Amino acid sequence: DGGITQSPKYLFRKEGQNVTLSCEQNLNHDAMYWYRQDPGQGLRLIYYSQIVNDFQKGDIAEGYSVSREKKESFPLTVTSAQKNPTAFYLCASQGLAQPQHFGDGTRLSIL
Amino acid sequence: DQQVKQNSPSLSVQEGRISILNCDYTNSMFDYFLWYKKYPAEGPTFLISISSIKDKNEDGRFTVFLNKSAKHLSLHIVPSQPGDSAVYFCAARGTSGTYKYIFGTGTRLKVLA
């Protein structure tokens, strides 16, 4: 059963700590994305990757980092430099000429 | 600068009636538009799309209309059902070949039984 898996579903972080959100897909999609959703706002693009070992900054990349060492995986690290990390994070993947498919998200909260 | 706008944050409709969700965009280079539906604590799911070479696309109860001159698209749901209650996002893609989508802020639809 193909899909996108985000883990964990809920994550808590102490101030000053880095934390990594996992995103795995078995859809054989080339492109993967990370979005952030805040209450009353749309999905804002953090980073995206069109191919392995390559990624580009989105609209709100400051305080975040990513890697794309494997086609299936696109982890997002929320660093201590991100001043307002509490949000709902969504990962998506996309194949050629297809719409983006989303995971079920990770809700990150600061303790 | 919001390039894709959904000016109605919420909409309530009686079951069986038509729901019309609106979306405006500013960039005439957008060539592909999509609607996504999102339930709480879940990721958005793809609903329907339309290319800029068309002005209408229909899939069951869902129809998307595109008015390029007005830079406006709308999603019609007929008849509306309680299970349609969710947040709906429109999204636009830039020039053909780009993988980057721009999303609106969403409209929360509530279908009343």
Give B44's pLDDT tier (boundaries 50, 70, 90).
Answer: very high
Pairs across A and B, CB distance < 8 A: 48
Please say if the pLDDT value at position B96 is more than 60. Answer: no
B-chain residues within 8 Å CB-CB of A107?
41
Q: Do B106 and B89 meet the contact criterion of CB atoms below 8 Å apart?
A: yes
Query: Residue A109: its pLDDT value, please?
Result: 93
* Binary contact (B49, A4; C-beta < 8 A): no
Please say if the pLDDT value at position B47 is more than 80. Answer: yes
Q: Do A30 and A50 meet the contact criterion of CB atoms below 8 Å apart?
A: yes
Q: What percent of chain A has pLDDT over 70?
A: 98
Structure tokens at B47: 């609903």
Interface membership of B42 toward A (CB under 8 Å): yes
B-chain residues within 8 Å CB-CB of A103?
43
Strand, coil or helix: what is A79? coil
**Long-range CB contacts for residues A12-15, cutoff 8 Å, separation at least 24:** A12/A108, A12/A109, A12/A110, A12/A111, A13/A78, A13/A85, A13/A108, A13/A109, A13/A110, A13/A111, A14/A110, A14/A111, A15/A80, A15/A110, A15/A111
Nearest CA in chain B to A88: B41
Averaged pLDDT for residues B5-20 = 96
Query: Residue A2: its pLDDT value, please?
Result: 67
* B103, B105, B107, B108: best to mutate for the A interface, most A CBs within 10 A: B103
C-alpha–C-alpha distance, residues A13 and B45, integer Å:
28
Averaged pLDDT for residues B64-82 = 97
Averaged pLDDT for residues B78-107 = 89
Averaged pLDDT for residues B1-19 = 93
C-alpha–C-alpha distance, residues B102 and A102, integer Å:
15
pLDDT tens-digit series, residues A42-90: 899 999 999 999 999 998 999 999 999 999 999 999 998 888 899 999 9
Nearest Cα to Cα of residue B3 among B20, B26, B23: B26
Looking at every residue in chain B, the average pLDDT score rounds to 93
A-chain residues within 8 Å CB-CB of B41?
104-105, 107
Structure tokens at B88: 């709906």
Please say if the pLDDT value at position A19 is more than 90. Answer: yes
B87 burial level (CB within 10 Å; 0-12, 13-18, 19+): buried
Please say if the pLDDT value at position B33 is more than 70. Answer: yes
Q: Tokens 């303790």 — which residue?
A: A111
